[in-house]
Amino acid sequence: SLALYFATLNASDKTYDSVRNSLGVIYPDLQLFLHWQIKEWVGKIANIALITYDMCPNTCLAFTGPFSDLEKCPYPNCGASRWDPVCLKKGKLVVAQTFTTITLGLQLQALYSNPESASNMKYCWDKTKEI
């Protein structure tokens, strides 16, 4: 599962699942995680916290903070609905678009836990002191 996850890292979730399903046909005894399972597992072992936010389908803004309760984009030239129009017609509130971010604090902790990356992060400071 891990090798497949990294091999399809820049592809869609559907690509991972399609390859996983194809391998399952060829090798019926092969046990592979679903995409969401391997993604969650990798996050846990790497101590990474992913946060997913709703966003305007036209990428104008994220529906967070003062915009968290809005139903549509507040920008005058946009006004796009927060909700997927196809699902909305069926009476379901499904977000039209999301984005995922990794918390900065955990990224920095991970970098400082490795001596080489910690040294690399001090590079600019060290060079500035030399001047």
Question: If you average pLDDT over residues 72-89, what whole number do you get?
Answer: 93
pLDDT at 32: 92
**What's the one-letter identity of residue 63?**
F
Question: If you average pLDDT over residues 94-112, what whole number do you get?
Answer: 83
pLDDT at 66: 96
Neighbours of 110 (CB within 10 A): 14
Contact 59, 74 (CB under 8 A): no
pLDDT reading at 107 higher than 80: no
Contacts of 12 (CB under 8 A, 6+ apart): none
102 vs 78: which has the higher pLDDT:
78
- pLDDT, the chain, mean: 88
Provide, rounded to the nearest whole percent, the portion of the chain with pLDDT above 70.
Answer: 100
Top-ranked range on mean pLDDT: pick from 4-13, 80-89, 104-113: 80-89
pTM: 0.54
Provide, rounded to the nearest whole percent, the portion of the chain with pLDDT above 90.
Answer: 44
Contacts of 58 (CB under 8 A, 6+ apart): 73, 78, 80
Q: What is the pLDDT of residues 6-55, one digit of tens each?
A: 888 778 888 889 999 999 999 999 999 998 898 888 877 777 777 889 99
pLDDT at 77: 94
pLDDT at 52: 86
